[in-house]
Amino acid sequence: MSFPLTSPLFSCISSTFSNVTLFGASIIELGATQLTNVSLAYPYYPTYGGLNFCNVSVTYTHPGQNDTLRVQVWLPSTTYTERMQGIGGGSYGAGLNDVAFGGMALAVSQGYAAVTLDAGLPSQKTVDLQPEDWALLSPGNVDLYALQNLASVSLSDATLLAKDFVESYYGQLPKFSYWNGCSQGGRQGLMLAQQYPDLYDGILAASPAISWNKWAIGDYYPTFVMDQLKQYPYACELEAIRTAAINACDELDGVVDGIITDPEACNFDPSTVVGGPVNCSDAAGPLTISDAAVKVVQAVWGGARDDRNESLWFGLNKDAAITGSSGLAETSCTNGTCSRSPPPLCNTWLQYFLAKDPSVDLSTMTQTYYDDLFRISVQQYTSIYGTDDPDLSAFRDSGGKMITYHGLSDVLIPPMTTQHYYDAATAVDQSVQDYYRLFFSPGLGHCDGGLGGYPAGAFEALQTWVENGTAPDTLLGTSAADSQGNVIERPLCLYPKKQIYKGSGNTSVAENFACE
């Protein structure tokens, strides 16, 4: 059957989709609404105007699990390109919030049918997406069905529903299906490749929150160290140490730009700056870098350690911000006194999913208890939420292609988490680059931000790889503009190659760098 792609085959009414079913689920409610010439604006996205699409919303349940899940699919009415795009979530959110809707609007504006989901979690529309209202059935009892829905099941559900809606509306399935996500959305992408390898032709899994059960408790370690020391340094102390590391290692790559291009080459010892002066507006008087501040920074960089001082998980790189709202060593200072301010995402993981008691006082935690919680996190959640199975052979055999990029200045997920996974996937299949490619971006923060280059063309590179067979060897990273409006462009290299300055030419221009 053929039809003009500028118009659907059937009407945007609920009855068009009434024959859609989902194995293992029961549809509670389904509605379809036509939107014509609408303008949509969401955080982090420009305003998209003149959009025409059929909004299909479905609510369903898995009988016996007492859950209620929602999926939303936007079907372009005028510019459909026979492609579908799944939009991922962030933090503890599966999607179906303003940020995901921004991705939906972008996708529809480009002719994609777009889908996002809430995994049945009631906190999806809140600002911080924290799981306090769904994690526990009661103290001591995690809602494992809810976590399983977030981890994996809802991803398959939403994709199968969306493809059926596409077929019902246009008369045929999409020719190409893509997933697009960062952080939680990146983890979702890798879960799709691992557990549902035939659902998507292409997956962009950026800064993926894989090994969540390890880095989420590992990221808490700097707070634990501060509690052990009973000292909570000023942010300016910690940032002074980070600045000293950048000053020491910045020029190792031949370019002074505030970016540590090769973190492995930076051997800066923070103990060398103890006693150095600090300019700090928060302090009551003159301040010097304390030994406690050095130990906290070492915890950020070195990663979590057990009672035998053996490594449990990776730390951040030395130019990643460690204070601020997303910082792993944030403190709260008032009238010359500082107190603990643990990272909310990590604090929640420990309280709700590991201790399983939101009233537990983590500030009194011993090293033994921390080690126990780490063991619990690994043993109880690897199979559900780890998303780190390195065997991608089924995804390979289905013809899928996947791209991951990760900022080396990520403030939340240690880049070594992704490198560790990719090395494991390579050990399983030495030809992994034939279908999965990894790119690191020096100076880039978590998903975006920082001084480094953001690969805005990563999704287009994925599409070209899937549809034309041309695999990318580099991605172009472009920084945000500085206060003078200047930007830098750098090639993001196919791992394990690294970005090298050629030694001459404008350091803001990508062609003056090579991958070696």
Residue 4 pLDDT exceeds 50: no
Residue 1 pLDDT exceeds 50: no
Q: Are 162 and 219 within one domain?
A: no
pLDDT tens digits, 90-114: 999 999 888 889 999 999 999 999 9
State yes or no: is 291 an active-site residue: no
Q: Is residue 504 part of a domain?
A: no
> Phi, psi (5° rounding) for residue 297?
-65, -40
Confidence of residue 7 (pLDDT cuts 50, 70, 90): low
Confidence of residue 483 (pLDDT cuts 50, 70, 90): confident
Please tell me the predicted confidence (pLDDT) of residue 299: 98
Per-residue pLDDT averaged across 470-499, rounded? Answer: 95
Please tell me the predicted confidence (pLDDT) of residue 128: 59
- The active-site residue, picked from 177, 183, 207, 409, is 183
Answer whether 204's CB lies under 8 Å from 462's CB.
yes
Helix orientation angle between 154-170 and 184-195, rounded to the nearest 10 degrees: 80
pLDDT tens digits, 205-247: 999 999 999 999 999 999 999 999 999 999 999 999 999 999 9
Residue 451 pLDDT exceeds 90: yes
Of 334, 357, 383, the domain-final residue: 383
Q: Are 126 and 229 within one domain?
A: no
Question: To the nearest whole number, what is the mean pLDDT of the chain?
Answer: 94
- The active-site residue, picked from 152, 253, 446, 479, is 446
Report the distance separating Cα 301 and Cα 218, nearest Å. 11
For residue 227, the surrounding DSSP H or E stretch is helix 221-229
Other Cβ atoms closer than 10 A to 320: 27
Q: Are 43 and 153 within one domain?
A: yes
Report the distance separating Cα 392 and Cα 398, nearest Å. 10
Among 37, 115, 19, 106, CA closest to 75: 115
Two tokens, residue 463:
């599409």
State yes or no: is 410 an active-site residue: yes
Of 154, 174, 194, the domain-final residue: 174
Q: Is the pTM of this model over 0.85?
A: yes
Please tell me the predicted confidence (pLDDT) of residue 129: 76
Q: Are 161 and 261 within one domain?
A: no
Q: Are 144 and 240 within one domain?
A: no
Q: Is residue 423 part of a domain?
A: no
Report the distance separating Cα 113 and Cα 107, nearest Å. 7
Please tell me the predicted confidence (pLDDT) of residue 126: 52
Residue range(s) defining the domain that contains residue 160: 1-174
Number of domain units in the chain: 2
Two tokens, residue 12:
């945007």
Q: Are 259 and 136 within one domain?
A: no
**pLDDT over 90, % of the chain:** 89
Give the count of alpha carbons within 13 A of 426, CB side only: 11
Report the distance separating Cα 390 and Cα 442, nearest Å. 25
Q: Are 158 and 29 within one domain?
A: yes
Please tell me the predicted confidence (pLDDT) of residue 124: 56
pLDDT tens digits, 457-467: 999 999 999 99
Per-residue pLDDT averaged across 304-311, rounded? Answer: 97
**pLDDT over 70, % of the chain:** 97
Beta bridge partners of 161: none
Other Cβ atoms closer than 10 A to 179: 30
Q: Determine what percent of the chain falls in helix, strand and coil, rounding each to the nearest 5.
A: 35, 20, 45
For residue 276, the surrounding DSSP H or E stretch is none
Two tokens, residue 297:
């920074």
Q: Are 159 and 236 within one domain?
A: no
Confidence of residue 135 (pLDDT cuts 50, 70, 90): very high
Q: Is residue 139 part of a domain?
A: yes
Confidence of residue 32 (pLDDT cuts 50, 70, 90): very high
Q: Are 223 and 351 within one domain?
A: yes
Q: Are 263 and 164 within one domain?
A: no
Among 55, 49, 15, CA closest to 35: 55
Least confident of 114-128, 242-256, 459-473: 114-128
Q: Is residue 201 part of a domain?
A: no
Answer whether 184's CB lies under 8 Å from 89's CB.
yes
Of 174, 196, 223, the domain-final residue: 174
Answer whether 117's CB lies under 8 Å from 154's CB.
yes
pLDDT tens digits, 337-395: 899 999 999 999 999 999 999 999 999 999 999 999 999 999 999 999 999 999 999 99
Q: Is residue 285 part of a domain?
A: yes
For residue 112, the surrounding DSSP H or E stretch is strand 112-117
- The active-site residue, picked from 154, 410, 420, 441, is 410
Least confident of 122-136, 249-263, 333-347, 384-398: 122-136
Give the count of alpha carbons within 13 A of 493, CB side only: 16
Please tell me the predicted confidence (pLDDT) of residue 490: 96
Q: Is residue 157 part of a domain?
A: yes
Q: Is residue 294 part of a domain?
A: yes
Q: Are 169 and 261 within one domain?
A: no
Q: Is residue 106 part of a domain?
A: yes
Please tell me the predicted confidence (pLDDT) of residue 325: 78
Report the distance separating Cα 192 and Cα 183, nearest Å. 14
Q: Are 25 and 150 within one domain?
A: yes
